[in-house]
Amino acid sequence: MKLIVASKRYSSWSLRPWLAMRVAGAPFEEQVIILRQPDTKAEIARYSPSGVVPVLRDGDLTVWDSLAIIEYVAERFPEAGLWPADAGQRAVARSVSAEMHAGFQALRMACPMNLGMRFAARDRGEAVDAAVARVCAIWRGLREKHAASGPFLFGAFSAADAMYAPVVCRLDGYSIPVDDVCRAYMDAVLALPAFQEWRAAGLKEPGIADYDNIDETLVARL
């Protein structure tokens, strides 16, 4: 299998399947396409029928959506347990993953993922506050049910954690306050060796001015 992703520093959608595949131990090659380069659009078009990444190639098969890639990998490697074994938990995991996949636009727009920067806390408006409150409600509810089974949303790492990993990066990078339960969950995601591998690679990539020079107060350049 070959996974084509965009700049690791900025691409939240690319992080999701990459993290799921790495934690699952699925063997794959990767190709990183740096954003905002003269050949970026052409390079993506070589692999993606939709004109966006990530894209998974497996022989003659092409899968071009983050959640679809995760579903495909979960089916190919069932022993990895990317979805909870319990049918009820699995349904909930798919529900919260689909909610993340389709929603939280205000948070996405206000706080684009940027692993190379940490910004100061500030008032980000009612829409962002509502999105953060909903995310934290999901995390708290799941952690209260599954705390005894491990540090992730359903105890062990699952596809749901891969789907929410970019939100962890956003809340951390934009200094958005959360309660202790949510902070502990965020710390567990950030401490994952697979996530640290992704972040380290992203920090070696060239920065992109259009992504870095935004209307925020910079606390640290990582």
Find out if CATH 3.40.30.10 is the number for domain 2-80.
yes
By C-alpha distance, which of 169, 158, 156 is closest to 196?
Answer: 169
CB 124 within 8 A of CB 110: yes
Mean residue pLDDT of the chain comes to 96
pLDDT of residue 210: 86
pLDDT of residue 94: 98
Backbone angles phi, psi at 120, to 5 degrees: -75, 155
pLDDT of residue 120: 96
Average the pLDDT over each of 65-74, 83-92, 97-106, 206-215 and give the range with the smallest value. 206-215
pLDDT of residue 177: 97
What are residue 55's DSSP bridge partners?
Answer: 4
Does this chain's domain 2-80 share its CATH topology with 87-197?
Answer: no
By C-alpha distance, which of 85, 176, 63 is closest to 128?
Answer: 176
Note the maximum CA span of the chain. Answer: 50
Q: Give me the DSSP letters along 105-141.
A: HHHHHHS---TTEEE------HHHHHHHHHHHHHHHH
Instruction: Report pLDDT digits (tens) over 20-38.
Output: 999 999 999 999 999 999 9
Of the candidate CATH numbers 1.20.1440.130, 1.20.1050.10, 3.40.50.720, 3.40.1380.10, the domain formed by 87-197 belongs to 1.20.1050.10
Mean predicted confidence (pLDDT) in 65-84: 96
CB 103 within 8 A of CB 95: no
Query: Domain-by-domain residue ranges, the chain?
Result: 2-80, 87-197
Q: How confident is the model at residue 39 (pLDDT cuts 50, 70, 90)?
A: very high
pLDDT of residue 209: 87
pLDDT of residue 75: 96
Q: How confident is the model at residue 54 (pLDDT cuts 50, 70, 90)?
A: very high
Instruction: Report pLDDT digits (tens) over 146-186.
Output: 999 999 999 999 999 999 999 999 999 999 999 999 999 99
Q: Is the pLDDT of residue 221 over 90?
A: no
